[in-house]
């Protein structure tokens, strides 16, 4: 049917099919760690909700590219593409399709209702879970429905025939809209979607080469996970995934901002600011922001000073004076939260209240105590204080810049004086000062200070990192540790953010050879296993959510830097 190049192919079992700006995707993943036999239209408004089940009339093989999903059977095929961010088009030849409500039961407060629209000749599903409507407009072929206007438990479905060609549009919208235009050509829509994605890739990765074969798929993960402003996300946002990790967490967003900076300065700037739009009165950032939910029960680590310095180097245009002042105020308030609300009186070091605050939720660092002063937190805050000092100087506030630097010096002295045991860093109880050593990679994260570390400390950290380095990258717990768990979240698997922060710190500390090794192994891992939330440190298998944007962004950052080192 379609002959245009439609972008990189991928497994729809791992990566959902979607369009930049769309709030719904096409995927068999219908809940956390849950695959359905059929593809579903899954909406991410008000949560993650499978709304419509798409079942071909015969067992079919599904293939997906950046612009087209195809079901193939020896009797015929079905194709699906997007017409902009809120509509999909489907057509079939020799293969029928059933589009059914994913939930069979309709109650006064849940489920999906189906009715026929006597004005437009369409069928409309209305979903309590998403608060949206899903209109099916027939363009060619006969269409019939089962269960229209039915209440309670009933099958509600629209049926497309196998014995004649058919074509339909499915739209997600709020209350009412004009009839869908019947003159839009399917193949042209495929071409438009493919061109939109191709333009994004060209802007994002003009440096790509055969040595970076994962680039286009990484770009697709980012492009397809982007949503238009809606709900609490009042800027265009790159969700962490259009699977169940369909939020913006308050450190994940930094890595997406960095990956986008060269290609789209405005979109990158939006990514950086998303959590800052919801700072509370103490200056704290939320743990996460989603379409209809903001969580403040935890925070995330202060990577934002490090990220802002990196971001400004990458942005394709300089910041205006107003933008500079605004980001300074936001970063100062966030830093003030740690200094004013997360330090024991008389202590210079800040503390976490739980592993979730660190982003390393269940790392072994937190086994002996949860409320602890950790070396990673101190190191990241030092970087953030130095960034604030530089911003204050740029804004002609030298006295304030001096205060930020003095605070950074005090924390650095405490980090080296209280948390360095002569061989590695340890955490310390915020209540009684008791040392809490562990074998977690988290305790080696002060390498992010780079050249600001004493030479002997830097060398010891580099040596310690080698124990964590497997054939695939940096394990968060050494594989020979008694605490290692292959799918243990932060107790073994390889993660993208730790890789990026450590690789950067190693380079700034003068350990370029080890940084090259970390980069090469992680890039090879992504090229083999995709862009999962995390990876088995021994086998390299992707774990958990298999379409995670900060992993894709991290690959792009490392791949771009690798290419630039090859061709300076």
Element (H, E) at 470: strand 469-470
3-state secondary structure of 517: helix
**Does pLDDT of 3 surpass 70?**
no
Q: Cβ of 503: how many Cβ atoms within 10 Å?
A: 25
**Does pLDDT of 6 surpass 80?**
no
**Does pLDDT of 304 surpass 70?**
yes
Distance CA(568)–CA(561), nearest Å, equals 10
Instruction: Give the pairing of strands 166-173 and 157-160.
Output: unpaired
pLDDT at 4: 57
> Which residue in the block uniquely carries the two structure tokens 């799918």?
487
3-state secondary structure of 316: coil
**Span 188-197, pLDDT tens digits:** 999 999 999 9
Q: Please compute the mean of the pLDDT values over residues 316-335 and round it to a whole number.
A: 94
pLDDT at 1: 43
pLDDT at 402: 98
pLDDT at 182: 83
3-state secondary structure of 99: strand
**Does pLDDT of 153 surpass 70?**
yes
437, 367 Cβ separation under 8 angstroms: no
**Span 240-249, pLDDT tens digits:** 999 999 999 9
Which of the four pLDDT bands, split at 50, 70 and 90, describes residue 360? Answer: very high
| Mean pLDDT for the chain overall | 96
**Span 386-437, pLDDT tens digits:** 999 999 999 999 999 999 999 999 999 999 999 999 989 999 999 999 999 9
385 DSSP 8-state letter: H
Which of the four pLDDT bands, split at 50, 70 and 90, describes residue 551? Answer: very high
Q: Please compute the mean of the pLDDT values over residues 198-214 and round it to a whole number.
A: 96
The proportion of the chain whose per-residue pLDDT surpasses 70, expressed as a percent, equals: 99
**Does pLDDT of 52 surpass 90?**
yes
What angle (nearest 5°) sits at the alpha carbon of residue 146, between those of residues 145 and 150? Answer: 120
């Amino acid at each position: 049917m379609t002959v245009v190049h439609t972008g990189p192919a991928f497994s729809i079992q791992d990566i959902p099919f979607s369009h930049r700006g769309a709030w719904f995707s096409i995927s068999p993943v219908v809940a956390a760690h849950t695959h359905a036999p059929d593809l579903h239209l899954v909406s991410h408004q008000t949560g993650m909700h499978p709304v419509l089940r798409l079942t071909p009339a015969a067992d079919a093989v599904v293939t997906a590219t950046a612009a087209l999903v195809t079901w193939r059977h020896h009797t015929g095929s079905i194709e699906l593409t997007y017409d902009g961010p809120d509509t999909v088009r489907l057509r079939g030849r020799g293969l029928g399709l059933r589009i059914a409500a994913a939930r069979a039961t309709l109650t006064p407060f849940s489920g999906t209702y189906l009715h026929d629209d006597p004005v437009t000749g369409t069928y409309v599903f209305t979903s309590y879970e998403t608060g949206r409507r899903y209109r099916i407009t027939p363009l060619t072929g006969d269409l019939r429905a089962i269960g229209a206007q039915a209440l309670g438990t009933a099958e509600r479905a629209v049926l497309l025939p196998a014995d004649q060609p058919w074509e339909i549009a499915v739209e997600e919208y709020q209350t009412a809209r004009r009839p869908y235009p019947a003159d839009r050509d399917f193949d042209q829509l495929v071409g438009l979607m493919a061109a939109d994605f191709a333009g994004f890739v060209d802007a994002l990765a003009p440096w790509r080469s055969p040595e970076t074969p994962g680039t286009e798929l990484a770009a697709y993960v980012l492009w397809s996970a982007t949503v238009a402003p809606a709900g609490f996300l009042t800027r265009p946002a790159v969700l962490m995934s259009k699977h169940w990790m369909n939020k913006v967490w308050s450190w994940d967003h930094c890595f997406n901002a960095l990956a986008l900076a060269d290609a789209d300065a405005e979109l990158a700037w939006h990514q950086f600011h998303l959590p800052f739009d919801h700072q509370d009165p103490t200056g704290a950032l939320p743990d996460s922001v989603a379409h209809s939910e903001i969580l403040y029960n935890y925070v995330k680590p202060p990577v934002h000073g490090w990220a802002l310095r990196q971001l400004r180097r990458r942005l394709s245009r300089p910041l205006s004076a107003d933008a500079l002042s605004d980001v300074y105020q936001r970063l100062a308030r966030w830093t003030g939260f740690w200094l004013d609300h997360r330090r024991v009186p008389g202590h210079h070091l800040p503390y976490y209240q739980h592993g979730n605050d660190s982003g390393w939720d269940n790392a072994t660092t937190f086994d002996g105590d949860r409320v602890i002063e950790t070396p990673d937190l101190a190191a990241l805050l030092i970087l953030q204080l130095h960034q604030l000092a530089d911003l204050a100087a740029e804004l002609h506030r030298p006295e304030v810049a001096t205060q930020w630097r003095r605070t950074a010096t005090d924390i650095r002295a405490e980090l080296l004086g209280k948390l360095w045991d002569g061989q590695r860093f340890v955490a310390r109880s915020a209540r009684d000062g008791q040392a809490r050593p562990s074998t977690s990679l988290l305790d080696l994260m002060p390498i992010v200070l780079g050249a600001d570390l004493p030479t002997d400390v830097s060398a010891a950290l580099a040596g310690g990192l080698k124990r964590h380095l497997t054939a695939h990258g940096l394990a968060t717990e050494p594989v020979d540790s008694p605490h290692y768990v292959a799918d243990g979240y932060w107790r073994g698997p390889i993660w993208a953010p730790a890789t990026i922060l450590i690789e950067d710190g190693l380079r700034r500390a003068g350990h370029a050879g080890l940084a090259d090794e970390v980069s090469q192994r992680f890039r090879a891992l992504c090229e083999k296993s995709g862009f999962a939330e995390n990876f088995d440190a021994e086998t390299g298998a992707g774990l958990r959510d298999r379409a995670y944007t900060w992993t894709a962004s991290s690959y792009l950052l490392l791949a771009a830097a690798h290419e630039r080192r090859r061709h300076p």
